[in-house]
């Protein structure tokens, strides 16, 4: 019986080292003060929004359905010292790049309106300019993808 208890304790300790608490706080990073946009009247944070624990120099890829005939705001955010983030929007159908913030001084937000509903791939990469972060390729940070959509108007 004592061996069984020791095994459980060992598993808990190992799990604590391989799944740090820092990673758990990333679960809703897109809702945190680092990422949240206040005062965007007429928009609602979409359930398509996500957060991820991402390594420096690594890329996370999300595939989302963005609805046509609505204005959409896409914001990518991370912890302060890990900026800039590179994010690209691509057509999931043909891979065509729709937007790459690398060519817009790494802005972290874009507003767009689609004519029709479209399946979009969003790629986010930490490309930090901070030398201390860049040399530590194993370093990880919270990254948030906040997608805001224009609220549907109620018609009488």
Taking only the tens place, the pLDDT of each residue in 86-138 is: 999 999 999 999 999 999 999 999 999 989 999 999 999 998 777 766 556 66
CB count, 10 Å around CB of 68?
A: 11
CB atoms within 10 A of CB 83: 18
Asked, for residue 128, whether it belongs to a domain, the answer is yes
User: In which band, very low, low, confident or very high, does the pLDDT at 16 lie, cut at 50, 70 and 90?
Assistant: very low
Structural domain span for residue 82: 25-150
64-89 pLDDT, tens digit per residue, is: 999 899 999 999 999 988 999 999 99
Residues constituting the chain: 156
Q: Could you tell me the CATH number of the domain that includes residue 32?
A: 2.60.120.380
Q: How confident is the model at residue 59 (pLDDT cuts 50, 70, 90)?
A: very high
Instruction: Quote the CA–CA distance of 5 and 139 in Å, as a whole number.
Output: 34
What Å distances lie between residue 5 and 10, 11, 16, 17, 83, CA to CA?
9, 10, 17, 19, 44
Domain-located, residue 3:
no
Angstrom distance (rounded) from CA 80 to CA 83:
6
User: Tokens 């949240």 correspond to what residue?
Assistant: 36
- Evaluate whether residue 4 is within a structural domain: no
């Amino acid at each position: 019986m004592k061996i069984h208890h020791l095994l459980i304790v060992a598993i808990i300790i190992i799990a604590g080292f391989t799944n740090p608490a820092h990673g758990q706080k990333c679960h809703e990073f897109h809702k945190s003060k680092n990422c949240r946009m206040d005062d965007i009247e007429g928009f609602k944070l979409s359930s398509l929004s996500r957060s991820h624990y991402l390594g420096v120099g690594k890329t996370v890829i999300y595939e989302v359905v963005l609805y046509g005939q609505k204005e959409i705001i896409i914001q990518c955010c991370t912890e302060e010292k890990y900026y800039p983030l590179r994010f690209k929007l691509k057509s999931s159908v043909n891979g065509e790049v729709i937007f790459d913030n690398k060519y817009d001084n790494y802005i972290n937000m874009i507003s767009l309106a689609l004519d029709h509903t479209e399946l979009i791939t969003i790629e986010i990469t930490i490309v930090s300019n901070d030398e201390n972060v860049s040399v530590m390729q194993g370093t990880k940070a919270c990254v948030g993808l906040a997608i805001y959509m224009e609220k549907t108007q109620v018609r009488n």
